[in-house]
Amino acid sequence: RKEVEQDPGPFNVPEGATVAFNCTYSNSASQSFFWYRQDCRKEPKLLMSVYSSGNEDGRFTAQLNRASQYISLLIRDSKLSDSATYLCVVILNTGNQFYFGTGTSLTVIP
């Protein structure tokens, strides 16, 4: 079983729409969670960390549900520039073991 699972999509949404992605993880000992963004096969870049209390950064909201072992990313008022692949990343409690999901592809359509 994979450590991290994501729906690969693709998600095709119109500009201005709200879209949400989920990611599940298998190891209950996982301690840290992140969303990375990857554009067109370039290097992934950190989008935001995910905290138990939930956190928001502009149009982006990330949440963690430890009981059900999933994290989510909500994008409001989608922009064309949001088109990318969003990767869910989990760190196990041993630290410095980063596990990536397969990524969810988002295309925002004019």
Partner 1 sequence: GEEVAQTPKHLVRGEGQKAKLYCAPIKGHSYVFWYQQVLKNEFKFLISFQNENVFDETGMPKERFSAKCLPNSPCSLEIQATKLEDSAVYFCASSQGDEKLFFGSGTQLSVL
Q: Which residues bind partner 1 (CB under 8 A)?
A: 8, 32, 34, 41-46, 85, 87, 89, 91, 95-103, 105
Nearer to partner 1, 33 or 61 (CB): 33
Spatial separation of the C-alpha atoms in residues 65 and 80, rounded to whole Å: 29
Residue 62 is given by DSSP the state: E
Give the nearest distance from C-beta 61 to partner 1 in angstroms: 20
Nearest-approach distance from CB 16 to partner 1, in angstroms: 26
Phi then psi dihedrals of residue 96, to 5 deg: 60, 25
Beta bridge partners of 107: 12
Cβ 48 to partner 1, closest distance in Å?
A: 12
Nearer to partner 1, 18 or 31 (CB): 31
Q: Strand order of the sheet with strand 19-25? A: 4-6, 19-25, 70-75, 60-65, 55-57
Residue (41 or 58) nearer to partner 1, CB:
41
